Amino acid sequence: MGTDFSCHRCFAAAADARGRRQELIRHLTSSLRRAGYVPPSAPEGLQGFMERRLVIGPPGRWIWVGDSAASTGDWACFEQLSRDLSTLVPVVDIRMSDSAAVHFSLYEQGRRQDQFGNLAFPFDEFATAAEALALRGQPERWTQYLHDPTQTGALRAVWAQGLLSSATEILERTAALLGWHPVLCSTGYTVHPDGLPVSYKAYVAGRMDLAGFRAYHFRWGGLPARRAPAG
């Protein structure tokens, strides 16, 4: 078995990374409130029972957001947060399944603009040519996010599909081209090596300063049922 994880990557560009991170925190909190979540009234020790947990990483060109919705398989809520955050900054979602299938989704202005996947989830060959084409990716849409904007062709070369492709290698090489942190690009709110959940704290401990991470806990406020995003 391999490793499963998912995360949001928020593009701060050349802006003041600390200031953009603060904006992102405010936007994130507002998004959860609009979705029907409220901050918990439970004591600190009971926060593990909250329905939604988010953590934001340190400031940088890309700001990492871990989301418990991925850990529980609530992909509609995971995607909706990406759409909401992308009205402030562009967002890329990373989803890894069993260290075999990796998908990248690009969101801008509340819409998903592009996707790449080497295999169908959980780790299967695409059922049809049309399914593979839909996840082939359009690297030219990603040019402005590359560390070196002249490397669009290199990104195309990295994004290989099929059972012979290596999801781990695709992730590492994509991360290098986009300037993602080498630890955070493989970290979610939880990481599941061989199906066993490991918290982000344990996963990054010793490799990053945990003081740079800030966690938020929300509970469901009882509003009408959430709906999956359209499109």
Reported as half-sphere exposure (CB side, CA atoms, 13 A), residue 54 has a value of: 25
Q: How high is the pLDDT of residue 86?
A: 97
Q: How high is the pLDDT of residue 41?
A: 62
Q: How high is the pLDDT of residue 230?
A: 44
Q: How high is the pLDDT of residue 49?
A: 54
As a whole number of angstroms, the longest Cα–Cα distance in the chain is 52
117 — alpha (psi -120 to 50), left (phi > 0) or beta?
Answer: beta
Reduced to 3 states (helix: H, G, I; strand: E, B; else coil), residue 141 is helix
- Domain boundaries in the chain? 3-220
Please, what are the averages of pLDDT over each run of 10 residues along the chain (231 residues)?
A: 94 86 93 85 53 94 96 94 96 98 98 98 96 98 97 98 97 98 96 93 95 92 52 48
* Segment holding 218, helix H or strand E: strand 214-220
Q: How high is the pLDDT of residue 205?
A: 95
